[in-house]
């Protein structure tokens, strides 16, 4: 939206953002898990908060045969189960009256022609004015045919005075060439400004708060550099195994599933320079610079800077669980990593010499995602005589669960002798702001409807991230990256990963 467009004077002083223009949201893969668990509950919550545009239409596009009524009933059940706000019958009825089902194979061009007709009818009936948002909630192998059919049927073209956008779910490609190819396919149908590559981590409040923490508090940004930071640890752990997703996961692995997108996004937000302003491109420009500054890890360096591993049988949350190779639909000789630890280096002025340790894994003792900045120690002068180890300061940004920020520092233990112990200052979102925060998908859907791409990955971000990841994957595949290590389920990963941080005189944080 142009900044010199006339503004609604009644919006002044209201904190709520402008409600986006009415639109039709077409969800491909509408019978899938994502739509039931996330998208529909998110849309309902937006409606309950008064943030949805009037007369929005939601059209589910999927293969199975069903009526609008059956589809609405299924979605209502899902919304009652997964919505963060209790479903109000009156509001659901009003919201559900705008939900429709469109049955077609993605490969069936006729199905897109009838979709176009249906959307025109809805425009006339509901006043959605030709604004269309297509959500590709399907596997990446389906993207090309859907995008091609959208293009052939002319649905990608916005009518005069209207807009047409596409939201693409991860994984966005499986490597750089496939990502470029996919980007090209998307761009044959949609302009970059109309393409919204979703990474739900960016929609989380705590991820959005990283910029506020850094750039709205003078005390942090002053020490946010190589002069004061010893190293950074970014962790995403989960106790779950592959949970019936072996078909997808065994082809993907932790590197593609998590590192290439979520963890590198967190790294860029942590390492980026202050943007010139808060526009989408200004922020994304700075994030891309970080990705470009990442020292590529290739060839023999891969064994030195990365560790990959698979979980074996063990115990998680009191239950005995099987190893990865014994999971259903996982090939017995699979080399797919369920755990990755790596040392990344951002070769720029701010971060030269500061390692960024990234680790991600399944079947770890607990679920947690966080960024921890470990600060350098104080000069060993004043308290040398006390023969005490003074723990370094650690600033932790907890992304999930229990979102918040904590700072570890040293304090004198009460008493006549000088004893120093670490203490923690802790800020919990839940404690301070009791209200439930919106789900990531609520924010992201609303942003896409409003045309705000700040929290979405741009083409060059995705491709730069693949460049970094591909070098590692190639070395692993060629055997240069060392063997796949193992770790027992319910432990914090393989010993090899400990060695990675040990050579910098550190250990992984105990979460």
Partner 1 sequence: MSEETFNPGMSVEVGRIEKELGRLWENTGDKTRASLINLAIYTETSENVAGNTELIAQIASEHACRAILIYANRTAPEIGVKAWINAHCHAVNKKEICSEQITFQLDGESPTAFANVIFAHLDSDLPFCLWWQAPFQEPHDDANLWSWVDRLIFDSNKWEDPVGQFPIVRKIAALGDARTILCDLNWTRLLSLRSALAQFFDHANALPCLDNIQAVEIVHAPGARVSALLLLGWLANQLGWQLDSVLGRHTFRGADRREITFKLIEEAGACISSCRLMTKMSKFSVDRASGGEFFHATATGGPLDSFSQILPAGRQRIADILLKELSRGGSHPLYLKSLDIIEPLLAE
Task: Please list the active-site residues.
Answer: 262
- Is beta strand 355-361 parallel, antiparallel or unpaired with respect to 339-345? antiparallel
Q: Looking at beta carbons only, is 22 or 355 nearer to partner 1?
A: 22
Q: Does 11 bind partner 1 (CB under 8 A)?
A: yes
In whole angstroms, give the CA distance from residue 163 to residue 165. Answer: 7
Of 33, 73, 77, 94, the one binding partner 1 by CB under 8 A: 94
Question: Does the footprint of partner 1 cover residue 228 (CB under 8 A)?
Answer: no
Question: Nearest distance from residue 2's CB to partner 1, in Å?
Answer: 11
Selected from 49, 77, 221, 347, the binder of partner 1 by CB under 8 A is 49
Interaction between residue 127 and partner 1 (CB under 8 A)? yes
Min separation Cβ 475 and partner 1, Å: 41
Residue 46 sits in the site that holds partner 1 (CB under 8 A): no
Q: Does 385 bind partner 1 (CB under 8 A)?
A: no
142 part of the interface to partner 1, by CB under 8 A: no
Nearest to 213 by CA among 407, 346, 439, 430: 407
Site for partner 1 (CB under 8 A): which residue of 3, 4, 50, 380? Answer: 50
Tell me which residue of 202, 139, 130, 199 sits closest to 165, measured CA to CA: 130
CA distance 434 to 249: 36
User: Would you say 93 or 251 has its CB closer to partner 1?
Assistant: 93
> Which of 402, 460, 474, 480 touches partner 1 by CB under 8 A?
402
Whole-angstrom distance, CA of residue 199 vs CA of residue 444: 9
Q: Quick one: tokens of 29?
A: 């893969």
Q: What are phi and psi of 132, to 5 degrees?
A: -135, 135
Tokens representing residue 433 in the block: 């702001």
Are 46 and 440 a contacting pair, CB within 8 Å? no
Residues 237 and 361 sit within 8 Å (Cβ to Cβ): yes
What SS3 class is residue 29? Answer: coil
Q: Hey, is 245 helix, strand or coil?
A: coil
Three-state DSSP state, 253: helix
Q: Which tokens in the block code for residue 298?
A: 């290739």
Contacts of partner 1 in 428-467 (CB under 8 A): 428, 430-435
Q: Which of 3, 4, 9, 318 binds partner 1 (CB under 8 A)?
A: 9
Under rule CB under 8 A, residue 19 binds partner 1: yes
Minimum Å distance from CB 48 to partner 1? Answer: 6
The answer to whether 6 contacts partner 1 (rule: CB under 8 A) is: yes
Residue range at the interface with partner 1 (CB under 8 A); choices 88-96, 202-210, 303-311, 331-339: 88-96
Q: Which is nearer to partner 1, 67 or 97 (CB)?
A: 97
Rounded to an integer, what distance in angstroms lies between the CA atom of residue 154 and that of residue 421? 67
Q: What is the contact surface with partner 1 in residues (CB under 8 A)?
A: 5-6, 8-16, 18-22, 47-50, 53-55, 88, 90-91, 94, 126-127, 401-402, 428, 430-435
């Amino acid at each position: 939206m142009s900044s010199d467009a006339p503004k609604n004077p009644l919006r002044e002083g209201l904190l709520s953002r402008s409600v986006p223009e009415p639109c039709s949201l077409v969800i491909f893969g509408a019978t899938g898990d994502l739509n039931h668990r996330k998208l529909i509950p998110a849309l309902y919550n937006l409606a309950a908060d008064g943030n949805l545009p009037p007369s929005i239409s939601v059209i589910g596009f999927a293969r199975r045969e069903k009526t609008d009524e059956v589809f609405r009933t299924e979605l209502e059940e899902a919304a009652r189960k997964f919505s963060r706000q209790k479903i109000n019958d009156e509001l659901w009825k009003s919201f559900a009256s705008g939900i429709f089902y469109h049955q077609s194979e993605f490969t069936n061009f006729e199905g897109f022609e009838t979709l176009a007709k249906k959307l025109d009818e809805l425009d006339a009936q509901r006043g959605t004015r030709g604004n269309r948002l297509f959500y590709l909630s399907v596997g990446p192998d389906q993207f090309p045919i859907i995008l091609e059919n959208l293009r052939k049927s002319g649905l990608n073209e916005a009518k005069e005075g209207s807009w047409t956008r596409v939201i693409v779910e991860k994984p966005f490609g499986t490597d750089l060439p496939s990502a470029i190819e996919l980007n090209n396919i998307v761009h044959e149908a949609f302009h970059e400004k109309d393409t919204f590559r979703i990474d739900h981590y960016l929609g989380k409040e705590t991820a959005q708060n990283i910029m506020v923490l850094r750039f709205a508090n003078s005390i942090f940004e002053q020490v946010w550099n190589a002069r004061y930071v010893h190293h950074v640890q970014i962790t995403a752990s989960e106790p779950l195994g592959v949970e019936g997703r072996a078909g997808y996961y065994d082809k993907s692995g932790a590197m593609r599933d998590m590192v290439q997108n979520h963890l590198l996004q967190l790294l860029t937000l942590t390492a980026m320079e202050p943007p010139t302003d808060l526009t989408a491109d200004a922020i994304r420009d700075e994030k891309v610079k970080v990705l470009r500054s990442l020292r590529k890890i290739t060839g023999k360096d891969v064994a030195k800077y990365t560790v990959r591993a698979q979980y074996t049988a063990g115990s998680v949350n009191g239950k005995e669980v099987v190893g990865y190779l014994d999971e259903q639909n996982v090939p017995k000789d699979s080399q797919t990593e369920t755990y990755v630890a790596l040392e990344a280096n951002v070769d720029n002025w701010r971060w030269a010499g500061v390692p960024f340790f990234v680790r991600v894994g399944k079947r770890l003792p607990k679920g947690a995602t966080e960024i921890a900045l470990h600060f350098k120690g104080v000069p060993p002068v004043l308290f040398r005589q006390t023969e005490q180890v003074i723990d370094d300061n650690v600033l932790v940004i907890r992304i999930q669960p229990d979102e918040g920020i904590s700072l570890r520092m040293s304090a004198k233990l009460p008493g006549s002798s000088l004893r120093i112990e670490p203490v923690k200052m802790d800020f919990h979102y839940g404690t301070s702001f009791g209200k439930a925060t919106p789900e990531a998908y609520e924010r992201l859907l609303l942003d896409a409807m409003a045309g705000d791409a700040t929290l979405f990955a741009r083409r060059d971000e995705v491709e730069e991230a693949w460049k970094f990841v591909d070098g590692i994957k190639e070395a692993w595949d060629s055997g240069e990256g060392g063997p796949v290590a193992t770790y027992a389920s319910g432990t914090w990963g393989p010993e090899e990963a400990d060695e990675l941080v040990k050579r910098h005189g550190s250990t992984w944080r105990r979460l």
